[in-house]
Structure 1
Amino acid sequence: MNTYVRIVVALLLGAFAFAVTTVAVTAGFEPQIEFSLLIGLPMGVSAGLTALFAGYVLLLHRDQAALGTVSKRAVRLRLAALAAVADFVVVTAVGVGLYAFADASIGIGLLVAGLPVTLVLAAGVGYLVVDRDRSEQAGPRTQ
């Protein structure tokens, strides 16, 4: 796939995730919170940027795998993208759970301020976890 096509597809995926998340979160919090858009917009931006990053990286990895030459950088970026998506799902579930069952202000704080921070941390940790030399992971060695 051409790089420009990959960028356009990732941008469309990010815009779609932004729109759907913003509308869903705003509508979900509207009965309880008057200015629910103040929660929906940061959540939508986080979802859109996560989808943009993950979409581009996973398409890049897929294209390299089809050619049979997957670079170490693509493997590291793929793990970073998967970690960011998993973090988005987990932190969103925890934030909504805290809002519904414990303290509403802590849940909203986690969704609005904590989610962007944890997304960057998860992507960074995911990128750094993959060893630079994958040949050492071939299996146990005997002498």
Structure 2
Amino acid sequence: MNTHVRIVVTLLLGALVFAVTTVAVTAGFEPQIEFSLLIGLPVGLSAGLTGLFAGYVLLWYRDRAAAGAVPERAVRLRLAALATIADFVVVTAAGVALYVYGDGSLGISLLVAGLPVTLPLAAAIGYGLAGSSRGEQDGFQTQ
């Protein structure tokens, strides 16, 4: 896939994920919180940036894998993207669960302030873990 096409596709993906997540979170919190957009915007921004990062990296990895040998950097970035997606899902679920079943302000804090902190940490940990399991291989093969 051409680099410019990959950029356009991931920008559209990020914008779509941002819009859908912002509207869903804002609508979900609207009955209980008057200014629910103040929760929806940060969560939507985190979701959009996660979609942008993960979409670009996974499309780039797919192109590298189709070419044959996959460089170590591509494997590391792929694991970082997958870790970021997993972190977004887990932290969002934990924040909503805390809001519904526990302390509401703690759940909102996790959604608004926790996501922007944990997403880069998950990416860094995923990137670092990919290199530790490599062993003595010369390179990664797709087949």
Report the aligned-residue RMSD. 1.5
Conserved 8 A contact 1:72-1:132:
no
Partners of 1:116 and 1:12 in 2: how far apart?
21
Partners of 1:98 and 1:8 in 2: how far apart?
36
Cα deviation for residue 134 of structure 1 reads: 2.7
Gaps of 5+ in 2: 139-143
Partners of 1:99 and 1:48 in 2: how far apart?
22
* SS of the residue 1:136 aligns to: coil
Are residue 89 (structure 1) and residue 86 (structure 2) matched?
A: no
What TM-score do the two structures reach when normalised by structure 2?
0.93
Answer with 1 or 2: which has the greater Rg.
1
Count of residue correspondences = 138
Cα deviation for residue 69 of structure 1 reads: 2.6
Per chain length, whose mean CA-contact separation is higher, i.e. which structure has more relative contact order (CA < 8 Å, sep 6+)? 2
Please name the residue that 1:71 is paired with: 71
Gaps of 5+ in 1: 139-143
- Aligned runs of 1:118-137 on 2, under 5 Å? 118-131=118-131, 134-136=134-136
Cα deviation for residue 137 of structure 1 reads: 6.4
- Which amino acid letter does the alignment assign opposite residue 30 of structure 1? E
Q: CA offsets per residue over residues 36-55 of structure 1, 9 Å max, x none?
A: 00000000000000000000
Q: CA offsets per residue over residues 8-31 of structure 1, 9 Å max, x none?
A: 111110000000000000000000
Cα deviation for residue 131 of structure 1 reads: 1.8
* SS of the residue 2:6 aligns to: helix
